[in-house]
Amino acid sequence: MATHNPPPGVVLPRLAFTEGYLGPQAKFQEYGLSLVSHNDPMIYLEPDQPEVEIIMGVPQGTRITIKMASLDYQKECNEYCLIRALGPNYLFLLRPPMPGFYKFQVRTVYCTYYKTCRVI
C-alpha cells in the first residue's frame, strides 16, 4: 500500500523544490480538477508494491498528457505509465522501473473550440 510518510531508513534526496512545486498548481480547482485518490503529493511505495494508482477527476472535454521522470537517473520513463478513463476520472497506473525518486506531472488542456461544417 502506498503511504505518505517515508519508510524507516529512507532518506529523501536533497531537491531544491520551490514552495508549491509539488501538488496541485494555482488553477487546479478553478479548472474543475480534483485528486480522488491521494491528497499528499509525496507518495512512497512499499518494497513489495511495484505500482501505485493515482485517480484524478477531470471535467468532460479535458485532454490529458503525462510525464514521469527519474530524478536519480535524469531520465524520462513515460512508458511505465498507463492512463485509463474511468467515467469522469482518469486513473494513472505508475510502475517505476527501479527504486528511486520520480516526478510525475499531469498536464491538462480543456477543448474549447467549435467546428463549423458547410455542405457544398
Q: What confidence score (pLDDT) does residue 112 get?
A: 62
Q: What pLDDT, on the 0 to 100 scale, is given for residue 23?
A: 73
* Model pLDDT for residues 44-66, shown as the tens digit of each residue: 888 888 999 999 999 888 888 99
Place of cell 479548472: 31
CATH class of the 34-107 domain in this structure: mainly beta
Q: At a CB cut-off of 8 Å and minimum separation 6, what does 80 contact?
A: 68, 94, 95, 96, 97
Task: Please give the grid coordinates belonging to residue 33.
Answer: 480538477
The helix (H) or strand (E) run that includes residue 69 is strand 62-70
Is the whole model's pTM more than 0.85, yes or no? no
Query: What average pLDDT does this structure show over 29-54?
Result: 86
The structural domains of the chain, with segments of one domain joined by +, span 34-107
- Specify the higher pLDDT residue, 34 or 42: 34
Q: Give the pLDDT confidence of 61-107 residue by residue, as tens digits.
A: 888 899 999 988 889 999 999 999 988 899 999 999 998 888 899 88
Mean pLDDT score, 23-51 = 83
Above 80 in pLDDT, residue 113? Answer: no
